[in-house]
Amino acid sequence: MKNSTTSGAGSLYVVATPIGNLGDITQRAIEVLSNADLIAAEDTRHSSRLCQHFSIDTPLRAYHDYTDQKQTEAMLDLLNSGKDIALISDAGTPLISDPGYRLVKIARDAGIRVVPVPGACAMAAALSVAGLPSDKFCFEGFLPAKAGQRLNALEALLDEERTMIFYEAPHRIIDSLAAMSEVFGADRELVLARELTKTFETLISGAAAEVLAAVEADHNQRKGEMVILVKGCEASAKQLDANVEHMMRCLLAQLPVKQAAQIGAEITGLRKKELYQWALDNKDD
């Protein structure tokens, strides 16, 4: 259990910055960034523009923990020597498809105080306006770039009942929407949230095939930054194992739905309710 902090050490502040509209910075983020000894930034040139805009003159240092363990250790040494570090990424919340995990982990393991300074995050912003169920959701980050791996990743989500959230790059948006339409079905409800908080903020929602067609028809919809949200599958739409499905089809050919579900549940140990719903959905196929 870790609940004590190293005395004399500095703190690591994990600071969210805007995802487009600079008005979304928080008062506390400006204060923390101004008062820190060092800002650890993904891209110092990019972040220096943010700092200039808010008249923050704290020194910036490049930090990219995906590639360089030494950078992480150097940051830990500074924290241990009493320096306060503010970690930011190019936009939004650090660690959310952005660097920072290694630094947070190593700092917490070393007993350094790690402080969240919350603010903008594209996935939360997109979910808040998508009109898809938001009580339960899963964040999948970026899909793999290679077609085969992307299909495998989507197929692994076939039974996902929660709203699924993906980040995507403009040059892959058509391929990803096409793959989603193929795997989840052309009529699966989907929302594309683009350029949130910026001038060309756009939300397109509809069946997967409709959203794909809209993006194919208008090249402007392939520009900028985007989040894809996909409604989870209906509990009843879950696929059964091929053997169970075969058995259920044999039972359904001879018996009413309720009895087929009852016997199917006794044989397989699956829930009667699940098999009953499957039988209702498939009895006329």
Which amino acid type is present at position 240?
L
Cβ-Cβ contacts under 8 Å for 274 (sequence gap 6 or more): 235, 236, 238
Measured N-to-C along each axis, helices 69-80 and 101-109 cross at an angle, to the nearest 10 degrees, of: 40
Return the residues of window 198-217 that contact ligand SAM according to CB under 6 A: 198
By beta-carbon proximity to ligand SAM, the closer residue of 139 and 257 is 139
Any contact of residue 80 with ligand SAM (CB under 6 A)? no
Cβ-Cβ contacts under 8 Å for 94 (sequence gap 6 or more): 14, 15, 16, 87, 88, 100
Count, residues near ligand SAM per rule CB under 6 A: 24
Q: Closest separation between CB of residue 57 and ligand SAM, Å?
A: 24
Q: Closest separation between CB of residue 257 and ligand SAM, Å?
A: 43
Any contact of residue 22 with ligand SAM (CB under 6 A)? no
Return the residues of window 225-284 that contact ligand SAM according to CB under 6 A: 225-227
Which amino acid type is present at position 217?
A
Q: Closest separation between CB of residue 43 and ligand SAM, Å?
A: 11
By beta-carbon proximity to ligand SAM, the closer residue of 60 and 121 is 121
Choice from 92, 99, 232, 264 touching ligand SAM (CB under 6 A): 92
Choice from 65, 98, 140, 160 touching ligand SAM (CB under 6 A): 98
Any contact of residue 84 with ligand SAM (CB under 6 A)? no
Q: What is the DSSP letter of 162?
A: S
d(Cα 104, Cα 66) in Å, to the nearest integer? 13
Choice from 72, 168, 189, 276 touching ligand SAM (CB under 6 A): 168
Token pair of 102, please?
């290694």
Residue whose C-alpha is closest to residue 29's, from 17, 21, 40, 12: 17
Q: What is the DSSP letter of 65?
A: T
d(Cα 230, Cα 240) in Å, to the nearest integer? 21
Chain residues that interact with ligand SAM, rule: CB under 6 A: 19-20, 89, 91-93, 96-98, 121-123, 167-169, 193-198, 225-227
